[in-house]
Amino acid sequence: MKNGARDVPVNSSPAVAANAEGEEIEVLESTEVLPEVPEDQWKALFDKYDPESSGFISTERFRDLLATHGSELDPHKLEVLLALADGNADGKICYQDFVNLMSNKRSNSFRRAILQGGRQLRGAALGEEHGLGLSQRLVRHVAYETLPREVDRKWYFDSYTYCPPPWLILAVTIAEVAVFMYYGLQLDRWVLQVSSPSFLRGPLPYHPQLRAQAWRYLSYACMHAGIEHLGLNMAMQLLVGVPLEMVHGAARIGLIYVCGVLAGSLAVSVTDMTAPVVGSSGGVYALVSAHLANVVMNWSGMKCQFKLFRMAMALVCMSVEFGRAVWLRFYPPAFPPCPNPSFVAHLGGVAVGLTLGVVVLQNYEQRLQEQSLFWIFFCVYTLFVLCAVFWNVFAYSLLDVRLPPTP
């Protein structure tokens, strides 16, 4: 379903783009702006507006071209492209820039397209638009929850189609609830399942004696210590993860989540060497930490309602869950000498969220491979994973760690 399809005259008002804080904006990727045509046809179109064969067309001629195709554009997208033409510093566009513009490809060269702040898009703010359907209001709500700039919010509102839906977080949540229900019925226990002697005998939880079974470094996220553990994690996972996936896509949110889960189990294997670990807290804390950090870093641009109260509630939920994990870790175990599950996975997830996660959420619709900060944090994360693998291979025997027996 297409959102926000409204007929607006192309020449209704010249639009200029920049947010109130003077931040630069970029052109966003989309295949819906103009019909796809081969590059040689772009060349023919470019030559039509460059009769002198100078290799450049003026921004005025580019605006004429937009006017010709204006009926094919969503109004918010047209507003951004007109703003880009208005903001071009030298008043002309070269051929490659023209191809990128008409293909609407995001590129670092467009970061300088709008130079001066203090001016806003002349169209009405997205939050002031009326007559929207339920699905459109939901998309608008998600845009204000996750994106700090009005130009990005408008572009997302026009671009989002619910296809594909936010399937990843929903699928992970269903899988985790299904595993919990299975063990609840099998153990006949719903609260503090970890106190059951059969809890750690399955193929999913991480146990230091079974650390050679590599899948356990990820599969442990499907098991939870009890309904109190599952409930808090699922609430945060759905309330934060689903909107983030709707905006940034399953691949990017999945990257943050999986990196958080893996970092959590590896952190336990390095710092709490005798303890098992269960729960999706590593992935959940990675998502929530990244989102909260993004909100704080763009505080003035975030226009979601009651953001201070909601941020406080998120921190309270995280603190309660972390406090529960710390209490459980040091509570006398039901079956010594095996200790209760570790809480260190939470901290591993937070570390991923505040590094890789923030970079991903800060670069909406931009190519991550072009962001140097992404590669810095990715290399640091990769180095941590490699060091943790070597630690698991050699450190346990060198340090003569006395591990609990196999469950």
Is 346 labeled as catalytic in the residue annotation?
yes
Which tokens is 77 given?
């997208």
- How distant, in Å, are the alpha carbons of 199, 207, 344 from that of 196? 5, 15, 22
Candidates 241, 244, 263, 260; CA nearest to 171 is 241
Q: Which of 269, 281, 289, 342 is catalytic?
A: 281
Pairing outcome for strands 56-58 and 92-94: antiparallel
Side chain identity at residue 3, one-letter code: N
Distances (CA, A) of 244 to 241, 268, 395: 5, 27, 38
Residues β-bridged to residue 396: none
CA distances from 234 to 61, 241, 242 (A): 53, 10, 11
β-partners of residue 57 are 93
In the three-class reduction of DSSP (H, G, I as helix; E, B as strand; rest coil), residue 105 is classed as coil
Catalytic residue (one of 207, 224, 229, 346): 346
The whole-angstrom separation of Cα 141 and Cα 246 is 11
Three-state DSSP class for residue 53: coil
Residue 155 dihedral angles phi and psi, to the nearest 5°: -65, -45
Is-contact 352 381, C-beta < 8 A? yes
Place of tokens 């947010």: 19
196 flagged as catalytic: no
Q: How far apart are CA 251 and CA 270, in angstroms?
A: 28
Residues with catalytic function:
281, 346
